[in-house]
Structures are given as C-alpha cells and as structure tokens.
Structure 1
Amino acid sequence: MAATKRPEDVVTIDVYAAKGLLISSSGHRYLDVRSVEEYKKSHIDNALNIPYMFITEEGRVKNPEFLNQVSSICNKEEKLIVGCNSGGRSLRACVDLLNAGFENVKNMEGGYSKWVDSGFAGEKPTEELKVACKFRP
C-alpha cells in the first residue's frame, strides 16, 4: 500500500498555470470545493462544485460525502485542479483525493480570491462571506 499523502505531497500551481491548463486541450477540470453559497455568488466557468466543508451552527464541518461525490462525477485518472477561496480547503481536499487514489490533482494556490485579483473574472467575496467561510481546523 502506498504511503499516506500529506499536504507537502500536493502539487500546487499558481492561478496563471491553472488558467493555462483549463483553457488548453490538456483535459483539466476545475473542482471548486467552496460552499454552495460561495459558488453561487461567483465562480470559474465550467467548474464542478463539491463542497469540502459545510457551514453549520457549530462552525465548519467536513462534508462526509466529499470523496463519494467527487468519485460519482470524476474518475481517478482525471486531471483536476482543485480550488477554494484562498487555498486552505483545497489543499486538504487534494490530500484526501490523493489518499483515495486520485492520481492527477493540483491545488490552485491562492484560490478563487487570487483568480479574481489576477483579473481573470468574477467578483471578490464580500467581507461577511469571508468571515463566515473562514476555515477553522
């Protein structure tokens, strides 16, 4: 059995590399692991949205069906670029995906906020949403 993957095992790329892969014919897909609320406000075109965490009254809770949901629409050989709002949730999601046997996952450094800051599209999240969605380990 392969060794358990850790955050330092995840390939991280910047938003420029991510955009290049997404618009090329390389077959990469963007997996947005932000909450449905975040995704509905603004997102990268053609993104898949499967939340890694949910916002509950008790705070953030990991989506217990995350891996099953990803596996239901993506095969383990698919090339995925994983992003959230700033890079924390997507890094953890990449670790889980690698440990589940997904072979080609990359974390988008800086997340959707960096994507917007780089002028690619979309709107920055409101301050209220940033506070509500701040990751708590």
Structure 2
Amino acid sequence: MAKEELDDRFKWDPSNARWVRVKPGKDEDGKYSAENWEKGGVATITPLSGSPYVVWPVIHSKLVKRGLKSVPAEEAYRMQQKGATILDIRPAYQYEAERIEGAVNISTFRPVAGKGKWDVIKKIAMGALAMKATESDPEFGKKAAEQLDKRKKVIVYCGRGGTLKVGNGNARKYNKDDPERMFGIETRSLKACHELLEAGFRDVLHLEGGLSQWRHDDFPVEQS
C-alpha cells in the first residue's frame, strides 16, 4: 500500500474481524485515531477480564511518529557494554528459564487480579491447562519508572520482537487480524516501549527480533 494512501484514522471492520486503515476522503466519521486518543482516550477497549488498554493501531501510530528505533542484536550488545539497560518484559517464569545475559525483568503481565465472573472463568480455564491466568499490568510504566534509571538508554525485548514496518510480509503467521500488515507486527515489547515513553522515558529502543534473534546471532544468554 502506497504511503500517500494511508491515513492516521482507522476503524474496526466487523465483516473481516480486523482493524483497517481509513482511506482519505472516506469514512469521515471514523472513531479511532491517535489524535482522538490524545484528546479523550477514546481508542481503548475494556476486555471482559482485565484492565482497559489502548488499541494497537494507536500505539503503532504513536511509535512511528516518535521515531522508535529497532536495533539489531549486535548494536544492542555494544550499547549494553557501554551501560545501556536491556529490559525483558516477559513473565517472570520465562525470564527465569532463559534471558539475555545481564537483562533485568519488569513484566508487562500480572496474575489476574479481578474477582468478577469472567476473571474467575479465565482462572479456571487456564488452570485446567496447567497455566497461570495473567493480564496486562496497568502499573508497568509506574514500576519501570521506580526501578530503572530514566537517564539511561533502555532496550526492550520480548520473545520475538515484532516490527513497526508496514506492508505485505509474513504477518498472517503472526497476526491473523492484520494479514496485510497495515500496522506492522504487534508484540508486547513494542507496547512496552510505548508505555515507557508515556511514563517519561526518553531514550527507549526496541530489540529487533527479540530473544529469538539474539540467541540465533549467538549473543550471550543465561539460564536458571
């Protein structure tokens, strides 16, 4: 899709169950946009279980405008040697099993905190699969601000990385809701970058390819 055909606005397409970009001159009543979110926080969704969250197309738009940079493992490793913090935002049990050497862990997940009907259902369903019921942690940005030095460069990673790059690719294997990759490839690490920037961090970078690429490129990892 050519760049000039894109618009900052987007909408939910119920017939195809996915987010789509609004074409210029059409769908002028489109509800969602980064601008709307900044003014009134309308571009959020409240799930049946868990806290309200900002929809991915808004986060994608904000990160692109802020010029978030994804760095390859080699560059991230050099920065780490010079004092940059590498931040693992995966659940603690994943971090404890395997992590980038020297990385610190502040998870964007927490155990399901609510006691409502759907919270209980989620706990029972996940328990039946011998898994922990988790949800996004709305306090992630606050915890990061308390535990990390905002004056330092922070490089964020998860398991697979994701990308802000738009256009056709292998998005279908990553995100069935965005087969044309209109909004890059959504991942928790990119969302975490957004939350850090919102929390007042200024020097935030994203690890390209995440832990998988880091390991593939033979940079040091450690295991418990």
Instruction: Pick the TM interval, shorter chain.
Output: 0.7 to 0.9
Q: Which amino acid aligns with 1:121?
A: P
CA distance in 2 between partners of 1:55 and 1:113 (Å)? 25
Q: Does 1:14 align with 2:14?
A: no
Q: Which has the larger radius of gyration?
A: 2
Q: Quick check: 1:119 aligned with 2:218?
A: yes
The equivalent position to 1:40 in structure 2, one of 96, 100, 118, is 96
1:34 deviates by 0.8
For structure 2, which runs of at least 5 residues remain unmatched after alignment? Answer: 1-34, 39-58, 113-122, 127-132, 162-186
Matched, 1:67 2:141: yes
Whether the aligned pair in 2 keeps the contact of 1:7 and 1:92 (CA below 8 Å) is: no
Counterpart code for 1:48: V
CA contact (8 A) 1:28 1:81 kept: yes
| Separation in 1, partners of 2:196, 2:94 | 21
Deviation at residue 66 of structure 1 after TM alignment: 0.7
For 1:6-55, what per-residue CA distance to the aligned partner results, in whole angstroms no more than 9, with x for missing partners?
A: 232322111111111112x2x21111101101101111122110011247
- Secondary structure of the structure 2 residue equivalent to 1:76: coil
SS at match of 2:221: coil
TM-score scaled by length of structure 2: 0.48
Larger RCO (alpha carbons 8 Å, 6+ apart): 1
Query: Matches of 2:151 and 2:197 in 1, distance apart?
Result: 11
Letter in 2 for 1:32: D
State the distance in 1 between where 2:63 and 2:72 align. Answer: 16
Q: Distance in 2 between matches of 1:122 and 1:13?
A: 18
Cα deviation for residue 121 of structure 1 reads 3.1
Q: Secondary structure at the match of 1:68?
A: helix
SS at match of 1:39: helix
Q: In 2, are the aligned partners of 1:33 and 1:84 still within 8 Å (CA)? A: yes
- Identity over aligned pairs, percent: 31
What TM-score comes out, normalization by structure 1 length? 0.76
Structure 1, unaligned stretches of length 5 or more? 124-137
Distance 1:78 1:122 in 2: 22
* Larger mean Cα displacement after TM superposition, 55-64 or 82-91: 55-64
What is the aligned partner in structure 1 of residue 129 from structure 2?
A: none
Length, aligned pairs only: 120
